[in-house]
Amino acid sequence: MTSAIKHSRTRNFIAGIFSGYVMMFATVAVGLWLTPFTLRFLDRQEYAIFALMSDALMWLGLLDLGITAGLRAKAAHLAGAPDQERLNRLASTAFFSQNVIVAAVLLVGGGLAFAFPQFFPVRADLHTEATNLMFLMVLALVLSMGTQTFSALLIAHQQMYMDNALGLLNIVTRTVLTVVLLKAGWGLYSLGIANLAAKATSSGLAVVRTFRLIPGLQIRRRFASWEVLRSIGSLGVWFSLGGLAQIIIGGLDRIVTAKLVSMEMVTTLTLTSRLYMFSGGLILLVTDTARPMLGQLIGQKKMGGVLKIYRELFAVSLGCAVVLGYSIWAGNESFIKTWVGPANYGGMALDTVLIMNFVVGFWVRPNRAVLSASLIVRPQSLSQILEGGLNLLLSILLARPFGVVGIVIADGIASIMVSCWYMPYLTAKLFGISFARFVWDDISRILLLGLCLAPIAYWARLMANSVSGYGGAFLGASITGCAGLLMLWFVVFTSGVRGRVIEYAVKLRQTVLPS
């Protein structure tokens, strides 16, 4: 690998991280402002309808059958060792296969639109609105799925920064239209129309950018083949099954809550967990942006470099998850009660379960990134299916005695019983390292961070609740965050990780502010 290629790879990684954070901060800022604004025009059940439809669309996305994920993984390997002919065959096969899938999505989505108000306890006066909103959201999904081939190629070529720029445009378009239409009295339709228009804009631009990035790219029916589809599908089906399990693990909470508790409690769960969801995206961006780079290194048989990057990813992602999780927990009660009112805060027990799930969820993210980049997908998917089934069973069993808290805690219990040991085991096996030694090297410093930061977060939470308004939330979060960052830097990060963070910070400055 030449130094120029290495520099380009690092530069693209940093650009992807920076642009991703810009998009994520925009998402957080817009979400925090737009949610209470939307609740001025929609009641709690109407808001719950939109949240549940977002979950339903994740299920529809599984009809992709993992083709996009398989294309992304294989194209990343080709980006490390370019072969234009193979790339054209891969892209063409994926594109025309997805055209067939789009027709299936329209058919199934239409059925879901009619079934939605019957399946959930939706008020009679909202049945028509719910059905029409679902149609609009299905159309938006169809546009997105029909152009996923191009987004996958952008990401595989480490053009994550461009994908993030299109995501930022999506946010702006959707926000402006939502505000205008809500004020015009369009109600629930505002959310569907805004989403559809935003998807159409960003999807079209993704197509244009991909052809400019890869001048030799040709999407032709004659390049598509069953052989290539089987190659993508044999890998992609496991990505798809893993995605199904992830939906069961993370997406069924609100559905089970709606069926076994109440529609209104769906809104409470959604809003109480909102800061965790936003912050999780900030950390997830690090591991997701690293996947194409890992795939390229694996394609070049540079396993020593892969292990080094894995160690850094684990320290940064899980360490930041502990600090961010505790910081949110310290100020969440004060923030939610000020932001959307006390009726929408789920209580300290729910808050505590949410932080547990938050940290546990990031325990295995670096493992999944390395394993997926290595095309080790089948054992991951099988473990996720097992975890998803266990999660669903525990959610139903715990919902009756413990309500929404029982539903949410099932996520963490299932993950601890399955993924939290099996994913590290697979990764240790990949690198040929003793499992016990591998896990201890990963978590010893993180455990110390968690134990030391817990009492500080509890004291900061008491301080936050003693001060009214957003000031209390900021006080609790900042006290915990500052203490956590100091511990993260001096306790968790090794000198090598600190050096890499400083190196990336310098390169980020040079990328954003070139001399």
* 326 and 184 inside one domain: no
User: pLDDT > 90: what percent of the chain?
Assistant: 31
Side-chain half-sphere of 454: how many Cα atoms within 13 Å? Answer: 10
* Domain annotation covers residue 230: no
* 415 and 443 inside one domain: yes
Amino acid identity at 344 = N
* 210 and 241 inside one domain: no
* 193 and 220 inside one domain: yes
Amino acid identity at 113 = A
* Domain annotation covers residue 229: no
Give Cα 276 to chain centroid, integer Å. 12
Instruction: Out of 224, 248, 265, pick the residue that ends a domain.
Output: 224
Side-chain half-sphere of 280: how many Cα atoms within 13 Å? Answer: 17
Q: Supply 346's token pair.
A: 């789920």
pLDDT at 6: 44
Task: Please name the residue ranges forming H helices in 157-187.
Answer: 160-183
* Domain annotation covers residue 510: yes
* Domain annotation covers residue 200: yes
pLDDT at 106: 86
* 88 and 177 inside one domain: yes
How far, in Å, are 179, 264, 336, 339 from residue 32 at the CA level? Answer: 14, 20, 10, 8
497's enclosing H/E stretch is helix 495-512
* 218 and 252 inside one domain: no
**Is residue 430 within 8 Å of residue 304, measured between CB atoms?**
no
Instruction: Out of 224, 249, 268, pick the residue that ends a domain.
Output: 224
* 376 and 418 inside one domain: yes
**Is residue 123 within 8 Å of residue 44, measured between CB atoms?**
no
Q: What is the mean pLDDT of each run of 10 residues along the chain (515 residues)?
A: 46 69 81 88 87 79 65 60 71 79 85 87 88 90 80 68 79 93 91 91 81 75 73 60 62 83 88 88 74 73 84 89 96 94 92 94 88 82 85 91 93 92 93 91 91 96 92 95 94 83 70 54
Report the phi/psi class of residue 11: left, alpha or beta, with left for phi > 0 and alpha for psi in -120 to 50: alpha
* Domain annotation covers residue 449: yes
Q: How many domains are contained in the chain?
A: 2
pTM score over 0.85: no
* Residue-by-residue DSSP string for 195-233: HHHHHHHHHHHHHHHHHHH-TT----GGG--HHHHHHHH
* 72 and 140 inside one domain: yes
Amino acid identity at 142 = V
* Domain annotation covers residue 259: yes
User: What residues make up the domain containing 256?
Assistant: 237-515
* 385 and 486 inside one domain: yes
Q: Supply 170's token pair.
A: 């999506």
Instruction: Out of 224, 245, 261, pick the residue that ends a domain.
Output: 224
* Domain annotation covers residue 231: no
How far, in Å, are 244, 281, 295 from residue 376 at the CA level? Answer: 17, 24, 12
* Domain annotation covers residue 85: yes
* 276 and 158 inside one domain: no
* 159 and 280 inside one domain: no
Alpha-carbon gap, residue 370 to 312, rounded angstroms:
12
* 241 and 220 inside one domain: no
User: CB neighbours (10 Å) of residue 499?
Assistant: 11
